[in-house]
Structure 1
């Protein structure tokens, strides 16, 4: 029936007794106040103010309407306070997707405890996957992701480089020897990724450099490949952050330049504007010295 902004100008005139004073209170000009009052009167169908030599006074109907308008104002201010308070408190869950091995490194780093100390209302919920979950469909809010990102709907920042190398278990290498060059790779048993990761860069790289390599086991996750290489089943291309951390593994080649990609922190354009995601990005930016070795080793 009417616009809250029009009602706001009516209340200002009722309080200050003139359109000039009302304009100063609302940080606008006198003509705008008059125009808003006129529009409100047209929508209601009755005059609300009348001009006198000493200024403006409310009509009888304006006096009748005034307490109801004041009640609307109280509710609007209360609503505004709730919205602003919610933004300040930054309550909510950040659903963070990243590969499973990264989760234990994050939880053991003290990052989450410091995030909670800075923003007590924020809580991180992990969505663990070696596959890219769809942020646009709401499957997660923020991603720590390595690899090629071609989704223009996502924005974020680079954290570090993701380095990969070739590893073997100590017992496997004692039995079969260590490859000295790329040409030697075809002579070894290999741990690969299954069909769900057919487009992974490590799968494509092995096919390019050793198309006849003997794949003796496959896994649907990087962590599964690490376990298979540790079990001395064969060689495997693994993230340097994971391979170098395993005392039972030996790095035999690399890092491999063709497997290097960027680690990025990503979200959607819409979520990036929300207070909770803004706060999470700002916190992680301040913790880069901790975050980089978590992702890169």
Structure 2
């Protein structure tokens, strides 16, 4: 029937006793106050104030309406405080954990610049690891993570597919040829993960399809495997986002269905309700077209 702005002018006149004083309190001119009061009276259908030689007084109906208007004002101020408090909480750091190779790809994309434009008070701090960090223990706020998620305390959403393929350096392939099928993989030298990554799906897959494959070099990171493949020591299973970006590498097999997983954006249930993490999730959801090529290639 009416809006809060009209009610605000009515309260100002009730408090200050004149449209001139009410205008000064609201930082507007007297005619605007008079116009808004008149509009409110027209919408309500009854006069709320009447003019006297000493100023304005509330009518009987205005007096009846006054305590209700004051309650509305209190609720509006409380709502304003909540909104302002939430805005303040958007100032801070989002500790984002992800595999090391993603850091360069994210920072070289427009993603962080767009986040800064939308939420100037938010800043991303990377927690880099090829191993899962524990969000429940507060080691990070948000994770970009591929693979199966068995932690029931984490919630999130799918953002892309994690695709892996087999790559070889150009010099290596010229000397040893390319495998035409999975059965040929055992005939080649390999760069693989070391013991610290023994449970990684790429390690387990290679053991299954080529148990007799010669592992001639190992690394504890995906970036390490990229460098070993570029050094032409042997074949390596790599994310397509990284392998396809290296001109010195050739994709010889894949994507491998057994290595395909889901990229998820994850956080804890408690953090998901905080304004800063909620804003970050909403931003990432709106940037899927930018994010997917970063993760998948």
Please, what TM-score do these two structures have when normalized by structure 2?
A: 0.73
1:217 correspondence with 2:182: no
Q: Where does the alignment leave 5 or more consecutive residues of structure 1 unmatched?
A: 1-20, 28-72
1:279 correspondence with 2:292: no
Distance (Å, rounded) in 2 between the aligned partners of 1:251 and 1:24: 71
- Name the SS of the counterpart of 1:234 in structure 2: coil
Q: Where does the alignment leave 5 or more consecutive residues of structure 2 unmatched?
A: 1-65
Distance (Å, rounded) in 2 between the aligned partners of 1:101 and 1:95: 17
- Name the SS of the counterpart of 1:295 in structure 2: helix
**What is the match of residue 174 of structure 2?**
174
Displacement of 1:98: 0.7
Distance (Å, rounded) in 2 between the aligned partners of 1:102 and 1:86: 33
The Cα offsets for residues 257-276 of structure 1, whole Å up to 9 and x where unpaired, read as: 00000011000000000000
**What is the match of residue 84 of structure 2?**
85
The Cα offsets for residues 213-269 of structure 1, whole Å up to 9 and x where unpaired, read as: 110111110010000000001100000110011000011111100000001100000
- Name the SS of the counterpart of 1:96 in structure 2: strand
Distance (Å, rounded) in 1 between the aligned partners of 2:69 and 2:114: 46
1:153 correspondence with 2:153: yes
Distance (Å, rounded) in 2 between the aligned partners of 1:86 and 1:143: 26
The Cα offsets for residues 16-55 of structure 1, whole Å up to 9 and x where unpaired, read as: xxxxx9789658xxxxxxxxxxxxxxxxxxxxxxxxxxxx
The Cα offsets for residues 91-146 of structure 1, whole Å up to 9 and x where unpaired, read as: 11000011111111111111111111111110000011111111000010001111
Displacement of 1:88: 1.6
- Name the SS of the counterpart of 2:113 in structure 1: helix
Distance (Å, rounded) in 2 between the aligned partners of 1:274 and 1:114: 21
- Name the SS of the counterpart of 1:251 in structure 2: strand
The alignment of Structure 1 onto Structure 2 pairs a total of residues equal to 232
Displacement of 1:85: 2.1
1:144 correspondence with 2:144: yes
- Name the SS of the counterpart of 1:145 in structure 2: strand
**What is the match of residue 16 of structure 1?**
none
